Structure formats: C-alpha cells, structure tokens
C-alpha cells in the first residue's frame, strides 16, 4: 500500500488569531499637534500683548508727566553762610543746647524757622543731598511748604533725557519709626495741574530715610525724638526721656497705576493658564 502522507500541522494551517479580539491593545494613533500649537500661539500672543502694553504705558506716562514738568531745573538758592554769620551762631547754640540736654537725659527741644532749616541744609554736610532740590518756604499749624526741583526720567527712548518737577510740595510732616517723613497733600506747579495719582506716588516723601543707619550724625538724634509739632512760622522737635519714641512705620506708598498693571497682568496670565489647560485636556480627549 502506498504510504500515507503526514497530516497537515494545524499550527501552520490555522489563521493567526486576531489580537484585538483577545483583548490586545489598539495600535497607537498619531498624536495631533493642534493642542501644542494652540498653547504656543497663546503664549506668544500673551507675551506680545504684555510687551506692547508695557511700551505703551511708558510713552503714556511720559506724555502725562511732560504736561507739568520742565526741561531744566529750578534754581533753589542756598543761604550765604558769611552773610548769615549771626544766624549761624544762633543756630549752632540751639543745636548745642539740644545735644547737651539730650545727653544729660533732660527734656530737649529744637525750634526751627524756615530760614534756620535752610541754613542748616547749607551749612552741614549731612544734608548735602537736599541742597538744590529742597527748600522750606512756609510753616503753618498744619502744613509745611517745600519748594522742590526733582530730577525725573524723561523719554523712554533716550537714556540721557530728563524732566524736572519744579514747584511747591505741600506736606504734613510726621515722626514715626525713628524717621521724619512727609505726607504729601498736593504739589503746586504754576499754571499747571499735577494729577492726584502722581501726587500719591510721592507720599510719603522720605528724604530722611538715608539717615536711619547713621548712628554718628543726624540718625542718632532722629531716632530718639518723641514728638514733632508745627506752629505758625516754626517746626519744633522734642526729645523727652520719659516718653517712648513712636515706632510704627509710615504707610506704604500706593502705586495706583502699578497696582492696576499688576492686576491686568495677573488676569491675562490666569486666562492664559486656563486656556492652556483646556486645550491640553481637549487634546488628550481626542487622542484617547
């Protein structure tokens, strides 16, 4: 009998089972670049907006400041020390009496007129930074009038361009935290109007802040003062050993425009983050 051929191998003849039918994973789908492109576009758009807004704000601020500032400083003359020799002798005597009384733990007072304050600016090197920019013109029971000439940044496109705020700063002097500072009520520029928002940037005006760390000069006496009072024509500083100097800090400067810019930036940034998260989740949903 002829020899029977070997039966076919079922493993070779049977078709390959469908892996997907056995619960295998689906083939990976191509990921859509749409979500990444949206996020990138939003990021670049937000960045461009913020840069543009910042540049626009600088030019707008420059235009507004130019309305009440000048291109040259105002000359604020200093008292001549030789012509005011007798007044200088009187001022030195008052300062020596104040130092002696304070050093001996006795109540000490220093009563100064506008002329004596300006004379001190001219005579003592500790006040060198105030010369030419700060001159007291009037003292009332509630206000101190200061003639100013402050140097300010000019055009955003020119690093050497400056403007000058020339006028009268009407203030209320305060004593707090070992420092004399000034609450600015208004700034008067002849023939021009200074916006309240700009005045708020200057208040409190703190020219004496530089003396806080000076324990050998003005700073050592300023931090021991217990009161500052005004009367018509005079400012009086007092040091009473039995009293504690006021220690609270002056109110922080409120930047109206800066605060609005920060709020706007935060809003734009949060909106960008929210949009990016939404786009990312939508992209994942499509891929799944």
Residue 161 pLDDT: 81
Please report, for the chain, how many H helices and E strands are present, in that order. 7, 7
49 versus 222: which is more confidently predicted? Answer: 222
pLDDT of 250 higher than 60: no
Return the closest-CA partner of residue 170 out of 142, 210, 130: 142
Kind and range of the H or E run holding 57: helix 34-66
Residue 1 pLDDT: 46
Segment 223-236 shows an average pLDDT of 95
Instruction: State the angle between helix axes of 114-123 and 85-103 in degrees (0 to 180), rounded to the nearest 10.
Output: 90
pLDDT of 275 higher than 90: no
Return the closest-CA partner of residue 192 out of 72, 71, 67: 67
Question: Percentage of the chain with pLDDT > 70?
Answer: 68
pLDDT of 143 higher than 60: yes
Model pLDDT for residues 8-58, shown as the tens digit of each residue: 554 454 555 554 444 444 544 444 555 567 666 777 777 777 777 677 666
Most confident of 117-131, 156-170, 201-215: 117-131
Residue 36 pLDDT: 62
Q: Look at 119-123, 162-166, 167-171, 274-278 and tell me which has the smallest mean pLDDT.
A: 274-278
pLDDT of 165 higher than 60: yes
CA–CA dist 79, 77 (Å, integer):
7
Residue 28 pLDDT: 47
pLDDT of 214 higher than 90: no
On average, the pLDDT of the chain sits at 80
Question: Percentage of the chain with pLDDT > 90?
Answer: 42
Quickly state the pLDDT bin for 253 (edges 50, 70, 90): very low
pLDDT of 157 higher than 70: yes
Residue 154 pLDDT: 74
**Can you give the length of the chain in residues?**
288
pLDDT of 207 higher than 60: yes
3-class state of residue 131 by DSSP = coil
Q: Which letter does DSSP use for residue 160 in this model?
A: T
């Amino acid at each position: 009998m002829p020899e029977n051929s070997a039966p076919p191998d079922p493993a070779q003849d049977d078709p390959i089972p469908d892996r997907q039918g056995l619960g295998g994973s689906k083939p990976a789908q191509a990921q859509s670049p749409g979500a990444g492109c949206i996020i990138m576009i939003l990021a670049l758009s937000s960045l461009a907006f913020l840069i543009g807004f910042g540049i626009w704000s600088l030019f707008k601020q420059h235009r507004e400041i130019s309305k009440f500032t000048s291109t040259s400083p105002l000359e604020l003359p200093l008292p001549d020390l030789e012509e005011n020799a007798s007044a200088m002798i009187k001022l030195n005597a008052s300062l020596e009496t104040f130092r002696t009384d304070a050093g001996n733990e006795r109540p000490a007072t220093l009563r100064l007129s506008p002329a004596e304050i300006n004379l001190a600016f001219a005579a003592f090197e500790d006040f060198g930074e105030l010369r030419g920019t700060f001159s007291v013109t009037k003292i009332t029971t509630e206000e101190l009038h200061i003639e100013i000439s402050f140097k300010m940044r000019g055009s955003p496109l020119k690093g050497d361009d400056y403007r000058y705020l020339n006028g009268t700063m009407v203030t209320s002097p305060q004593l707090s935290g070992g420092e004399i500072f000034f609450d600015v009520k208004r700034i008067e520029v002849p023939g021009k109007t200074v916006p309240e928002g700009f005045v708020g940037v200057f208040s409190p005006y703190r020219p004496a802040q530089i003396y806080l760390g000076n324990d050998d000069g003005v700073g050592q006496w300023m931090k021991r003062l217990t009161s500052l009072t005004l009367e018509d024509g005079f400012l009086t500083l007092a040091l009473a050993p039995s009293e504690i100097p006021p220690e609270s800090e002056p109110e922080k400067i409120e930047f109206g425009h800066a605060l609005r810019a920060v709020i706007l930036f935060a809003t734009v940034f949060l909106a960008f983050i929210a949009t990016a998260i939404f786009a990312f989740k939508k992209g994942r949903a499509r891929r799944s």
